[in-house]
Amino acid sequence: MYSSALGATSGQTTAYGSRMFVYEVVGLSQNTDNDSLDYPIRRSGSVFITVPYGRMNQEMRRISRMGGRIVSIQPVDAETPLKSTSNGSSTAKVAQPQASNQTKKKRKSMTQAKTKIPTNIYRQKSPYVGKCIENYALVAEGGSGIVQHVTFDISGGDLHYLEGQSLAIIPPGTDAKGKPHKSRLYSIASTRHGDKVDDKTISLCVRQLEYEHPETKETVYGVCSTYLCNLEVGADVAMWGPVGKEMLLPDEEDANIIMLATGTGIAPFRSFLWRMFFENNPEYKFKGKSWLIFGVPYSANVLYKDQLEEIQTKYPDNFDLTYAISREQKNSEGGRMYIQHRVAEQAEKLWTMLQDPKTHLYMCGLKGMESGLEEGLRDFASKQGVEWPDFVKQLKKEHRWHVEVY
């Protein structure tokens, strides 16, 4: 677990993992942000703070709040301890290891370091209780259904996550048999730093489930989705996780990302795109090409429409946006426009991108998306002398095929 008390003092000798870094900080002042630390903060001299790779951005902001300035950042190898200075001062110096040629070849830059995947920090039997701080509608007038963007404050615990993971929500109450309601999983719609980029929140994109009972013909509403869509700001919510490794965003900054989404399947891709284009991350600067093909019934159901089109306008070299609006657009045969029709229209461009080993393909949304993709690309692949099932098998082997459907 990450601890905020990370200062190094004279004579301390500690071993660190390969994904730890040391900040040399000057100018820290005592305030409410650091009163709980177990070492004094002085205006003079340097303080050395070890930071896990996944928490670097958060620690930078914390240091800034304390009035400090980072003068250097150094990776710490497992065999590299903090050593005190020879003059006996209370500050510490990071010994620079004499790495072998083999070690130098294997060492990756900060932006290329592999991120540790958090899973089940909290569990169903001992969930974290977050507080709803935001709940607003995403469907514009004229759209179908109810979809809400719900944000929770998680600053009181150690719940942290990565883009592409899911969160389990435990709805209150019991079912018809008197048993507690089962948990429901939702794709996380925010980046690892949260919508406010302060590492204190997590957001979901939730559609209220609504269907007709096959026997009674009565309208049935989903238990958990209805609970979340009607949640009031200030309400406590039991949650656990995070879970999932299938949909993670690659660490490589020059990766190409193809995203196919229907409805609330946009959630993980919102987290991807916000990390790529809206956050100013010192540890991640996206340099690749991303492409979202988004299927919805009406224009009013294009979730996060303004932000998606803002990205398209500001970053035309790095982001393409394609809509498949089934009730408003026609395919080449005059029928409704679905994702598979857009895929067929763009088959050559998609196929070319997929030949690049840096390209990853993601799908999230309704079941049947995989067959829709096959329908759109199978014939084109065949013309290239490639059998589609063999090609998919190869993508899976290379960990470039990512699917989450429901």
Per residue in 349-389, pLDDT (tens digit) is 999 999 999 999 999 998 888 888 999 999 999 999 999 99
For residue 54, the model assigns a pLDDT of 66
pLDDT tops 60 at residue 2 = no
pLDDT tops 70 at residue 340 = yes
User: Do residues 317 and 271 lie in contact, with contact meaning Cβ atoms separated by under 8 Å?
Assistant: no
Q: Is 390 helix (H, G, I), strand (E, B) or coil?
A: helix
Question: Residue with structure tokens 């899976």?
Answer: 396
Q: What is the DSSP letter of 234?
A: T
Give CA–CA dist 131/153, Å, rounded. 5
Q: How much is the average pLDDT of 38-57? A: 57
Average pLDDT, the chain: 83
Q: Pairing state of beta strands 201-207 and 184-187?
A: unpaired
For residue 349, the model assigns a pLDDT of 97
- Cβ neighbour number for residue 342 with a 10 Å cutoff: 22
Q: Which of 225, 227, 234 is nearest to 263 (CA)?
A: 225
All domains of the chain in start order, with CATH: 20-112 (no CATH), 128-243 (2.40.30.10), 256-405 (3.40.50.80)
Region of poorest pLDDT, from 16-20, 185-189, 208-212, 230-234: 16-20
Question: Residue with structure tokens 């099932």?
Answer: 389
- Work out the pLDDT band at 155, boundaries 50, 70, 90: very high
Give CA–CA dist 137/119, Å, rounded. 29
Question: Residue with structure tokens 């020879």?
Answer: 86
User: Do residues 188 and 167 lie in contact, with contact meaning Cβ atoms separated by under 8 Å?
Assistant: yes
Stronger pLDDT, 232 or 84, i.e. the higher one? 232
pLDDT tens-digit series, residues 156-211: 999 999 999 999 999 999 999 999 999 999 999 999 999 999 999 999 999 999 99
Q: Which residues are catalytic?
A: 186-187, 364, 404, 406
Give CA–CA dist 238/130, Å, rounded. 6
User: Do residues 244 and 137 lie in contact, with contact meaning Cβ atoms separated by under 8 Å?
Assistant: no
Helices (H), 294-368: 305-314, 339-345, 347-354
Give CA–CA dist 42/29, Å, rounded. 6
- Return the CA Rg of the chain: 24
pLDDT tops 60 at residue 100 = no
